[in-house]
A and B are shown apart, each in its own frame.
Chain A
């Protein structure tokens, strides 16, 4: 819930009430005239002094007050099913600790794995098949549980992931990787043969195959310890989220008052309502000296839902909020901050693990032909697409698929389809098209019926590129029919293999975790096509003939390229330069040989802060603001 920073709010409110009533009633006509006479927006005039920055040792205290248009949660904050990278994972960093974790800062340092609950980051033994973790002493769950975290609590988290009923969204990163984990367990109490807890401070994982980024998977919020005495009360997906027990520096407000004496006594914690607010307060059981990564300057965090995005930024400018969080600012607000030097320090735009691409379905003509796909890559005017999406403050032009923020991400300068000003090249596109079987007249245009009226799936967030794509593709004889759909309808259509959607503007999105396998496998692996409805290989890269037959979709005579061998090769390599080079090789293969996607932008996280934010840090692992590194200088407290 919101707080104010005015003293004696009740008294001030009463004094002003009569004045406001009179003023409002009598000034209605003046209001209309004032509004009609124009007047642009005002920034609110934040002074340069005290502007946000990376202060070396900012003061502890204060509350970060922010708002989002929607939490967008996928599982009500139950980590088993939560895929909302950005918002949810940023909150998890403040609430949960895992065996190992990321540093939750920006840049390359933010992708480094460090110990969190574990005493050290273990090296795998047994030819990469065994990981042994030892827990630090004196680390407790937050109230109402308030007891030491043991290895069995971490095991229970994995058992929940393994429970079919709880519908774990990232389960496939563990099923078939950890011995005994199949995702088919009937209860969270079912043991997993590949995880052993010989004593309360030791946990051992036995894998079925070497998995180079296993530590990144263990850093997932779903792997954070879960107290069985609370979670056992919740057997439906997402229901545990409202009583999520913290293990990190912050907890839901109201956690201390939760009654866990029985399942019937347990009620949703007041500090979290999935439709309106999340309020975090310090976890009294947390010991700072056990944590080398989180600074925890804030006394609390208040996040409210405000569907009026313009209002969020108006409240930041008025000082009622300390910053935005996940919503990009409207164009007028962006312009205000970028053109006023006194506000520049309050506008933060950072590259994140996100790419958006035009996808082409390799099983649908004319995209069965690599020359057609390359022609599309040459002709698209990426600079126009960037402008349509808000410009360089909101996105960056993507020159290749894997974002540079991910391990193995190539340099921005690598662009096999480089054109002056990134505006595309019709000549090169036509030259490529002439090599295609779909250009029998050899005029540089796709001449056949298969190139006409191709459905192009999009959502409102990216629909600005539709006209650019439509105009550019028309130059090489491909006509598209843009379909701007709701998020759920669009992605369900793309997930459903049988639909054979020819094109979309939605290739990519976020990596599931800060590990390139989580980007490569779901987007380009044939394993991602194992179910008739599955995310996110929209181009059907690696689709086998057997899969095509089982889904009753046509398999092109020219075949469909696969990069499974590269993905499998990279997956087993340990984290380090060799693995990174392997992923770079995958990107080059996708860009030069497969060309199923034309990446057009990399994402940027944009946050506007108020001057009382004294330290701002972007977390590359969550692609969002780092709540555990943030500092503010307000003297706000959270109402009880």
Chain B
């Protein structure tokens, strides 16, 4: 296992280097507008541009800038660790700008994940166990509808009906529990969680249904029934255990992708998360911020993959790593 871990960590670092290098080239080498010119503003004389380039560290060759970026990432910069640089647009350290946003995105992603897992797996199991019944049909309808419904539409509809018209839901905005209390925060997160969760719940319901149906026909399940075990025990201890591997795979990837994939929900519900941040940064040519979020997103996906792979060994005894 340790050898396997070491190998995976090595390739994690290599992949991260490749991703950061490509992103660096895209944003520092290719753009038609120099960040220094943008920063210099209305009277970008050569003297002002030169001053700004020196201030922002843009007066070094590109490869030196990239190496400095890596060095700061690993060792930190004058603003702390990790060193994510200085926002050209907001004139603040990127680290402080995204710290709060990571928490918002994480809370949105984790909350939605719990809901979609609970909802999706439950519906999938019921649908498989009650195959071809009215529950199965409803489950299919549920999955098709929410997989097809655009996320922004769903969010706006939920807001319109439950907040604007019925007044029973809280509106938009980010209300940190430390400042506004746990219940106020929870209130404001329900609709965003549902919006995000319902899309994934549909997928997971269908995936779980297929996996459970497949497992139910296995010999060991028949044996368990023959031995007189209760159906619920068979389902929970034997069937679900076998089905969990594909669900785990998808779950890890989906959760990691949400690092920057929640942008639509964050915009609709005004949640000031990472997804919304990266879109604003791209629009305003805030290169250090885009680079920072790219690094974080890539790291999240790779770490999630690694965790999922390690969990396989515990979930499925047949899997061993050398």
Contacts and interface: CB of A to CB of B under 8 A. Distances in A.
Interface of A: 1-2, 4, 9-10, 13-14, 16-17, 19-21, 23-24, 27-28, 31-32, 34-35, 42, 67, 70, 73-76, 78, 81, 83, 164-165, 167, 169-172, 184, 236-239, 241-242, 268, 273-276, 304-308, 311, 314-315, 317-318, 320, 486, 488-489, 492, 495, 522, 530-536, 639
B270 A307 contact: yes
Secondary structure class of chain B's binding surface, majority of residues = helix
B168 A20 contact: yes
Nearest to A34: B161
Given A236-B55, A488-B284, A315 B267 contact: no
Given A13-B184, A31-B158, A306-B270, A24 B91 contact: no
B47 interface: yes
A315 B171 contact: yes
B90 A76 contact: yes
Given A492-B33, A492-B38, A171 B43 contact: yes
A638 to B, nearest CB: 11
A489 B190 contact: no
A535 to B, nearest CB: 4
B44 to A, nearest CB: 4
B277 interface: yes
A268 B270 CA distance: 23
A276 B168 contact: no
A273 B92 CA distance: 10
A4 B181 CA distance: 13
A535 B42 CA distance: 5
B117 interface: no
Nearest to B272: A276
A470 to B, nearest CB: 24
Contacts of A184: 47
Given A31-B157, A34-B161, A239 B191 contact: no
B314 interface: no
Given A10-B184, A167-B41, A531-B44, A275 B272 contact: yes
Interface in B186-244: 186-187, 190-191, 194, 198
A81 B41 contact: yes
B190 A24 contact: yes
B198 A28 contact: yes
18 contacts: A1-B179, A4-B184, A13-B187, A14-B183, A20-B162, A21-B190, A24-B194, A31-B162, A76-B92, A164-B47, A165-B55, A171-B43, A236-B86, A274-B92, A306-B172, A311-B172, A320-B171, A495-B42
A169 B173 contact: no
A2 B173 contact: yes
Contact of B90 (A73, A317, A486, A531): A73
B107 interface: no
Interface of B: 32-33, 37-49, 51-52, 55, 86, 90-92, 96-97, 100-101, 145, 149, 157-165, 167-175, 179-181, 183-184, 186-187, 190-191, 194, 198, 267-270, 272, 276-277, 280, 283-285
Given A42-B165, A307-B276, A495-B42, 6 more contacts: A20-B168, A20-B190, A236-B55, A239-B92, A314-B159, A533-B44
B40 A306 contact: no
A315 B208 CA distance: 40
A236 B161 contact: no
B268 A308 contact: yes
B46 A13 contact: no
A170 B179 CA distance: 39
B57 to A, nearest CB: 11
Nearest to A73: B90
A488 B38 contact: yes
Nearest to A512: B42
Contact of A306 (B101, B173, B180): B173
Contacts of B33: 488-489, 492
Contacts of B149: 32
A171 to B, nearest CB: 7
Contact of B272 (A14, A81, A167, A305): A305
A24 B38 contact: no
Contacts of A78: 91
Contacts of B159: 311, 314
Given A76-B90, A239-B91, A531-B43, A275 B97 contact: yes
A259 B187 CA distance: 35
B96 A308 contact: no
Contact of A70 (B47, B96, B170, B280): B280
Nearest to A169: B41
A9 B181 contact: yes
B162 A23 contact: yes
Nearest to B97: A275
B260 to A, nearest CB: 15
B280 to A, nearest CB: 7
A89 to B, nearest CB: 15
Given A31-B157, A274-B90, A533 B172 contact: no
A164 B284 CA distance: 24
Contacts of B170: 13
B92 A24 contact: no
B171 A639 contact: no
Contacts of B100: 273, 276
B270 A17 contact: no
A306 B276 CA distance: 10
Nearest to B149: A32
A17 B186 contact: yes
Nearest to A492: B33
Nearest to A639: B179
